[in-house]
């Protein structure tokens, strides 16, 4: 039996580092805050654009 392996891809090493980083609560908080802020601001822009283009929905 034999087995041949190519060089380790950077993606595998990156993924392992990301999993290790996810165990650090302080680092997670630092990383998550700007993501949540950006998503909130983007959603606000989407809603404003929809209101501008289509007007408010009337029930």
Q: What is the pLDDT of residues 1-52, one digit of tens each?
A: 888 888 776 788 889 998 999 999 999 999 999 999 999 999 999 999 999 9
Is 28 in contact with 22 (CB distance < 8 Å)? Answer: yes
Residue 40 lies in a domain: yes
**In whole angstroms, what is the distance from residue 28 CA to residue 8 CA?**
26
Question: In this structure, are residues 21 and 27 in contact, taking their beta carbons and an 8 Å threshold?
Answer: yes
The pLDDT of residue 9 is 67
Structural domain that includes position 38: 25-59
Q: Taking the CB of residue 7, how many other CB atoms lie within 10 A of it?
A: 5
Asked if residue 3 belongs to a domain, the reply is no
What is the pLDDT at residue 57? 77
pTM of the predicted protein model: 0.60
Whether residue 48 lies inside any domain: the answer is yes
42 falls within a domain: yes
Residue 49 in domain: yes
Q: How many domains would you assign to the chain?
A: 1
Q: How far apart are CA 34 and CA 27, in angstroms?
A: 12
């Amino acid at each position: 039996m034999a087995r041949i392996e190519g060089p380790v891809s950077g993606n595998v090493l990156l993924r392992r580092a990301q999993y290790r980083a996810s165990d650090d609560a302080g680092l997670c908080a630092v990383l998550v805050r700007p993501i949540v802020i950006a998503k909130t601001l983007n959603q606000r822009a989407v809603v404003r654009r929809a209101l501008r283009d289509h007007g408010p929905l009337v029930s």
